[in-house]
Each structure stands twice: as C-alpha cells, then as structure tokens.
C-alpha cells in the first residue's frame, strides 16, 4: 500500500458514502472494534522528544497486540516519514488513518517543507483572505496526502474572544465570529480540494478561556446566547461546508452543561448540541487525552475513554496506554457500562472515514501541484509581508540604516526539535547590514550572557530585540519574567526596536520601546518579512496576490 496509492480526492458527504470494497475492514472481534476507535501518537514533540522514525518500532510492536484505528504524527521529515508510514500500513491488520496537526502546513510535521504564518496572519489579506486560506489548505493537503497523511487537525474554528488566551491567540483566524466562520469554512473547502480530511476544533470553542487545557480544566462562563452568537458560529460554518470531523475541547461550559463536565465528556454538548441541534453527522474526535483538561477527575485512561464514548465521541486521540484502556473498554461493555450499540455507532463512523480516505485513489498529484512546496513558500511570504505591521515608530527610526552597526537579539523560549532548521533571522540580517552582532537566547539564559549582550547592545548604533510569543502546548504564554525585565531595561536605556514574532499582546510589557512591530508568527517567512519591514517595506507595501 504505497503512499501515492493512499491519495484521494475527497468529494462525498460522510454520511452518504458507502463502505467500499477496498476500505472494508475484515471481520473484527469486539476488542478489535474498540481498538479501531483509538488514535495513538507516532513521534513526539513532548519530552523526551523523539522523531517518527525513532518511534517506529514501538508502534510496530503495539500493532501486533492492539490494532488501533490510526496514528497521530509528530516530529517527522519529508524524506523519511512517508516510508515509515508505508511500513506501518503494511504491518497493520486494517488500514491506519494517519492524522497530524498541520495548522501551519505540511512542514509542521514533515520538515523541511515550508511553513505558513499562524492563522491570524491571513486576516490581513482582507477580501483575499478566504481564497488564500483555501489555497493554503489545498496545497497542504496535496503535500500531506502524498506523504501518507489523511487527516489534518484543523481548521481552528475558535474565536479569539479573549486576547490573552494562552493557547488559541494567533492560532485563531479572527476575534470576529463572522470572519472566523468565513475562513474556517474556506479551510474545509481547501482541504477537500487537496484530498485531506479536515477536523474543526475545539468544539464548542476554546477562544474565551483564561487557561490552557493542556495543564488545567478551563471554564467558559458566558450565556448560551453569547455562545450561540460567537463560539458556535465558525462550527456552524464548518458543518455547512461538510467538515467530516469535529474535535472536542477539554473545557467546561456551564451554560451548555450545568453538571460541569468538560465538552469531551458531555452528552449534552456532543450528542444533544453538536449532533441534535447543529446536525453534525460526521465523526467526533477528542483532543489529546494526555492533556490535564482530559485527565482531571479520572483515575485512569480507561475511565476517561469510557466517559468520552458514552458522551458521543467516536475516536479517542492520543492515549498513552492503549492496551490498558482497551481492557477497561471491553470490561465496561461486558458489564453494561458502555452500550454495545454506542460502540457500533462509533465504529461505523470510523469505517466511513476510512472509506473516504482510501477510496478513489490517484496515482500522483496533478501536474500543477508538483511544485506545491515552491507555491506554499511563495504564499507564506506573501501572507507574512501583508501581516507584518508597525504599531509604533514615534522617533521615526525606520527604515534602519544598513551601513550602521546593528545589535540584534532573537529571544525564543520554545525548545526547537532536533530536525528543525535554525531560524533564518541572523543570516537575513547579515546579508543586509554591514556590521551585525547577532545573538539567540532560549528561555533561561545565564546572567553573564545577558550582561555581555547588554554591553554590545549599548555600543551599537541600532538595537533590535525580536522575540517569540505564541500559543504552544505546555508553555506559559508570554516572555519569561527574567527576559521581560531584561528587555525592559534595554528599552529604558536605548531606543529599542521591539519586534514580536507572534501575538501583539507580547508587546504590551515593552511600551517604552521606540518601535513596536508585530508579525503574528515566527515562521521563516515572517522572519524574512520582519527584515524587509526594518528596511521600510511593511504590510501595506506588499504586492497584491497574483
């Protein structure tokens, strides 16, 4: 089963598609049917980090004992991971659905494919945004399908209603419900054109939380009317666009379920609201069950798996101990705690997804998509240029003088996977300025290094501090306190150009900076757009999309 043979054009409605001969699963026992409801991770970006290839033998051993329904890919490469997926498909007794977080494109999990800026950057394109979102999703779909991936966990259909939300922020398309709905629907349509299955997340909306569900159980305490008008709008649009999957949020919504159950475990939210009121007929998948928002209140994974399925979930994502959870599920069916009819319903929905994913196979991408990588890179740079804005330049320091000395610091508190290329900012500055002292800092640099950089900064003619503030799992939102204080000291002593490679809220502690620039993302294209902006070409000067 080669990776090209897995590619398909997704065109039929999930509920209308029959199970085809090539996707029909062999006769399975109850235990195997329960295993088909599980998606486990291949590779990891959590400590201890491991590539997909390093994780292959573990998954191969698991498949012999537990025929899971699919894998969620992390930390892969474009040259090795397709073969890894192909080998695992051959080992599996039933076709594996391969899913991945591809919010910023295939390069997010298949390095070094290009990355596009975070979703909020698209909003800068105005009337062109929907078309750009659709084209991005189509290109990402074609590239990912050719590598053996069937599902992208996107669009992020959350409305960024709380600007200090620690996990959504720039991952959302907009803080305005209609705009978020328009672009979420465009993403779904682009995925369909690219042959990949979309999964709208995080139902019924994670944008108004003050906590990250990776390490807490957030609560959205607004009225049902507010939820209807704001949070649910993008999900309605995604359902109308025939999104085949919806991912749940590990978040409480008292107005929807007064019992306090997070959406993942709430029958009122999944079965009554999502299916009953909104009419969604596709498959429902949990967010990662490794998250604290899911684990809180449960003694083990078996208990949370039973609760999720009873609430109406069809697919269990990211179980750490699938065999132990399988034992618990099988025991619960035997005791009557998990109805057999509910298992059958979930299993049929998974089967329908596989019918879509493995039918109408095409031998290769169309000729005009063979340059999908180059086209993605060009689109990424166009978006980055339009999104990069100057919020403040009271002293008229821009454009910088390339013949004068520059001290530049890139602060990135996020650990970089071993297979991720180095950030290009230093090289880009070196190509354009005659004299550059460039430094990169992690989240906890030694005090002696900060002192040495400060000496260089005070001696330079021009001073740039670029820093990454973005939503990311298990990371605190914003700059670490020590680095924030250090940057504030620099801003008080010298005219500082502060550039946030991420959310504009990251600039709030640096009100004393002479210049404030926001790129809405830290991807390579956004770093290039920042350098161009320093030289006088910001978003309003970018060329229109051809």
CA-based angle 529:534:539, to the nearest 5?
45
**Extended strands (E) in 43-107:** 70-73, 76-77, 97-100
**Cβ contacts of residue 396 below 8 Å, gap of 6+?**
none
20 forms beta bridges with none
CB 100 within 8 A of CB 109: yes
Q: In this structure, how many other beta carbons lie within 10 angstroms of the beta carbon of residue 374?
A: 11
The phi-psi region of residue 46 (left if phi > 0; otherwise alpha if psi is between -120 and 50; otherwise beta) is beta
**In 396-480, which residue ranges form alpha helices assigned H by DSSP?**
425-432, 447-459
Rounded to an integer, what distance in angstroms lies between the CA atom of residue 526 and that of residue 522? 6
Q: What is the DSSP letter of 218?
A: -
In sign, the C-alpha dihedral spanning 79, 83, 84, 85 is positive
**Nearest CA among 92, 40, 64 for reference residue 316:** 40
Three-state DSSP class for residue 92: coil
Q: Output the six-digit token pair for 334.
A: 């035997």
Q: In which order are the strands placed within the sheet that holds 245-248? A: 283-285, 245-248, 197-203, 151-152, 97-100, 70-73, 38-42, 316-317
Q: Judge whether 93 and 26 are in contact, CB under 8 Å.
A: yes
Angle at 25 between CA 22 and CA 28, to 5 degrees: 165
Which residue matches tokens 């946030």? 500
DSSP string for residues in 167-216: SSGGGSS-SSHHHHHHHHHHHHHHHHHHT-EEEEEEET--TT-SS-TTTS
Catalytic residue among 150, 202, 206, 214: 214
Q: How far is CA 446 from CA 320, 372, 459, 482, 486, in A?
A: 35, 42, 21, 10, 12
Question: Torsion angle of alpha carbons 69, 244, 339, 270, nearest 10°?
Answer: 130
Instruction: Tabulate helix, strand, coil % of the chain (nearest 5).
Output: 45, 15, 40
How many other CB atoms are found less than 10 A from the CB of residue 543? 8
Residue 32 in 3-state DSSP? helix
For 515-532, b/e burial (b = at least 16 CB within 10 A) is: bbbbbbbbbbbbbbbbbb
The verdict on whether 79 is a catalytic residue reads no
Calpha distance 248→256 (Å, rounded) = 14
Give me the catalytic one of 287, 318, 412, 522: 287
Does residue 287 carry a catalytic annotation?
Answer: yes
Catalytic residues: 214, 287
């Amino acid at each position: 089963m080669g990776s090209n043979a897995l590619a398909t054009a997704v065109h039929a409605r999930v509920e209308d598609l029959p199970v085809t001969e090539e996707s029909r699963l062999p006769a399975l026992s109850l235990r195997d049917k329960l295993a088909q409801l599980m998606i486990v991770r291949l590779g990891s970006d959590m400590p201890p980090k491991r590539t997909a290839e390093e994780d292959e033998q573990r998954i191969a051993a698991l498949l012999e004992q537990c025929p899971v329904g699919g894998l969620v890919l992390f930390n892969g490469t474009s040259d090795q991971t397709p073969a890894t997926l192909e080998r695992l498909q051959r080992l599996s007794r039933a076709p594996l659905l391969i899913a991945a977080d591809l919010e910023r494109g295939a390069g997010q999990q298949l390095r070094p494919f290009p990355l596009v800026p975070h979703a909020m950057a698209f909003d800068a394109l105005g009337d062109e945004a929907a078309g750009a979102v659709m084209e991005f999703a189509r290109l990402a779909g074609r590239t990912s399908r050719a590598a053996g991936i069937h599902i992208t966990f996107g669009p992020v259909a959350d409305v960024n209603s709380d600007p200090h939300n620690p996990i959504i922020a720039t991952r959302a398309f907009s803080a305005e419900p209609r705009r978020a709905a328009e672009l979420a629907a465009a993403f779904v349509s682009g995925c369909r054109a690219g042959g990949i299955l979309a999964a709208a997340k995080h139902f019924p909306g994670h944008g108004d939380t003050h906590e990250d569900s990776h390490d807490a159980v957030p609560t959205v305490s607004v009225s049902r009317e507010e939820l209807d008008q704001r949070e649910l709008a993008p999900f309605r649009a995604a359902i109308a666009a025939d999104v085949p999957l919806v991912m749940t949020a590990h978040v409480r919504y008292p107005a929807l379920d007064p019992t306090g159950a997070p959406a993942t475990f709430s029958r009122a939210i999944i079965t009554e609201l999502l299916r009953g009121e909104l009419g969604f007929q596709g498959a429902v998948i949990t967010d990662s069950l490794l998250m604290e928002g899911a684990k809180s209140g449960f003694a083990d994974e078996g208990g949370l798996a039973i609760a999720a399925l009873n609430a109406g979930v069809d697919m269990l994502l990211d179980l750490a101990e699938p065999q132990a959870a399988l034992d618990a599920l099988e025991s619960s069916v035997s005791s009557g705690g998990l109805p057999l009819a509910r298992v059958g319903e979930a299993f049929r929905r998974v089967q329908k997804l596989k019918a879509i994913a493995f039918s109408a196979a095409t031998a290769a991408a169309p000729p005009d998509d063979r340059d999908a990588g180059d086209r993605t890179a060009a689109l990424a740079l166009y978006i980055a240029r339009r999104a990069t804005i100057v919020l403040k330049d009271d002293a008229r320091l821009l454009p910088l003088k390339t013949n004068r000395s520059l001290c530049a610091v890139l602060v990135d508190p996020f650990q970089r996977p071993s297979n991720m290329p180095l950030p290009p900012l230093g090289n880009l500055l070196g190509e354009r300025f005659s004299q550059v002292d460039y430094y990169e800092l992690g989240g906890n640099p030694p005090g002696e290094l900060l002192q040495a950089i400060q000496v260089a900064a005070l001696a330079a003619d021009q001073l740039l501090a670029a820093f990454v503030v973005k939503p990311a799992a298990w990371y605190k939102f914003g700059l670490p306190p020590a680095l924030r204080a250090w940057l504030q000291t620099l801003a008080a002593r010298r005219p500082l150009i502060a550039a946030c490679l991420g959310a504009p809220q990251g600039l709030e502690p640096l009100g004393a900076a002479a210049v404030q620039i926001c790129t809405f993302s830290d991807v390579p294209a956004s770093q290039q757009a920042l350098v161009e902006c320093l030289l006088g070409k910001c978003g309003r000067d970018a060329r229109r999309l051809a």
